[in-house]
Amino acid sequence: MSAADTPDKMALSSLTDRELAAVDGVLKDMSENPEESNLTITVSRDVDVPSRDLLSPPPALFGAGGPMLKQFDQSNAASRLMSQASTPPRSVVGIGGKVAKPDYSEAKIVLAMVGLPARGKSYLSNKLMRYLKWLEYDVKVFNVGQLRRSRARQKAQQSGTREDHTASYFSHNNVEATKLRDQLATDSLEMLIQWLKEGGNVGIHDATNSTRSRRQKIVERVAREPGLVVIFLESVCDDPALIAANIALKVSSGDPDYKDMSREKAKVDFERRIREYESVYETITESHLSYLRIKNVGSQVTLCHIHGYLQSRIAFYLMNLHLKPRSIFFSRHGESQYNVEGKIGGDSPLSERGMRYAKALPALITDNIGDAPLTVWTSTLQRTIQTAQYLPYPKLTWKSLDELDAGVCDGMTYEEIEQAYPEDFANRDEDKFNYRYRGGESYRDVVVRLEPVIMELERQENILIFGHQAILRCLYAYFHDLPQADLPYIKIPLHTVIKLTPKAYGCDEERYTLPIGAVDTHRPKPKASGPIVPTPNTGREYYAKDA
């Protein structure tokens, strides 16, 4: 896709709501046609022949350069043009106003995980939670293992008695332990339901839920609550390498279950625990359930009885995940003429120092990536395209990566904005995420238009994005699970490459700053002690916060 793409009448008429832009056509058809909603769809990444029951994966529609993303970009560009066309004089309208948070109060989903230990249930739970929170849904994971450890720790602190949570505790022949585990699962579900009733949107029940009887109990309990629905997410893994990696992570990452045990002994015990679950495990075959089944974290996805917008959104996101090792590189464009002049927006070329940065990048990137494949993404604005011009990698241009639209303030300095619109300027500083420039965008608008970019990033391997300050803040907040209130104040300096390496429970981060001077465009959060530079957390949480 390129800047030359122009909107047509079909694009305008078929995509009027930007929040619906990222919903895959197949899933949308399922939710809109009740007679088709009972259809089971299997999506397999190594099969590319479409049929009624076996469909090629959604990336063909939403991949970089695909028709749905092209349509999204076209309609987005058109909506911008139309919003600016009738802008009254600045002295009359001010610079904009606050945007209300979408009303998601009717969305109430219990998402119950299903699967053996070391099959990626917690990985999927946390990825989904991070994605939906980024989109401003209220999401929480209720992990039964964390609840078990927390209560065992409380018991040990109060009575001095330490429970034995080795493999024998998980045997279904251990009647007393089975009752305790069933009670933990029930208590966790009750806590989840209460949280939904208090205002939450999606509660994730992270447990094995490995038998038909356990799943039926969940269905019957949720059915007693009006407005709540339950869908199951089964994670199946038969890849020995993936299972071995998950087991190794489990026994080497500080799990309290194996606190005083050697790594080898812990590995043997955990493998025994898995066999205990395998002896009673029943995969989902209940035809009346709403469920998704994911095999080997994305190689194959099966859907059944998936209804409505939010469920479809969840399904489409999970279809795009993979576990291949990769790195994602972020860099702002080199210093631009507008940066030097203190102006926002526009489409100015690079400054002399910005061009030096562009010429220095190939050595830094090739030294870091080696012979691995890499694709470069830029916005349609010339400063990002100029920054990428010397890199010897395939390049794609995305309209969705263009900088936040400053509307009537485009091309102005912050000093000029403050002088012309002092009240609006102060209001934006108070709630920068929600403040929309007149004829332009808010950070919330940017998050919405970046959703297809997130989908494509989850599908890809090594990607280098040359973007803009607001755009990279939004993407960075997604990968580090940062709150929306902090998002507009994340420090993303010029002439710095940020390398993110996704891990099981977060992202490792490295920053490479080239010794080429540039202006500092960061404006700190009012009354904050300093810029927001988060400390990456890739560790797993082992205890529940509200046990």
Annotated catalytic residues are: 206, 333, 403
Please answer whether residues 79 and 13 qualify as being in contact, where contact means their C-beta atoms are separated by less than 8 angstroms: no
Please state, in angstroms and rounded to a whole number, the distance separating the CA atoms of residues 140 and 517. 43
Residue with tokens 């078929």: 14
User: Where does 3-47 show beta strands of DSSP type E?
Assistant: 41-44
Residues 449 and 135: their CA atoms lie apart, in Å, by: 11
Picking from 56, 69, 46, 71, the residue whose alpha carbon sits closest to that of residue 26 is: 56
Residue 170 near residue 183, CB atoms below 8 Å: no
Cα–Cα distance measured from residue 282 to residue 167, given in angstroms and rounded to the nearest whole number: 19
Residue type, 520: D
- 8 Å CB contact between 49 and 446: no
Tell me how far apart the alpha carbons of residues 104 and 136 are, in angstroms, rounded to a whole number. Answer: 9
HSE (CB half, 13 Å, CA atoms) of 481? 19
As a whole number of angstroms, the distance between CA 63 and CA 82 comes to: 27
Residue 340 to residues 349, 363, 517, Cα–Cα distance (Å): 11, 25, 11
Cα–Cα dist 450/462, whole Å: 18
CB atoms within 10 A of CB 204: 25
Pairing of β 300-304 and β 229-236: unpaired
Span between the terminal Cα atoms of the chain, in Å: 50
The length of the chain, given as a count of residues = 547
Cα Dmax for the chain: 77
Q: If we measure between CA atoms, which residue out of 321, 287, 316, 319 comes closest to residue 301? A: 319
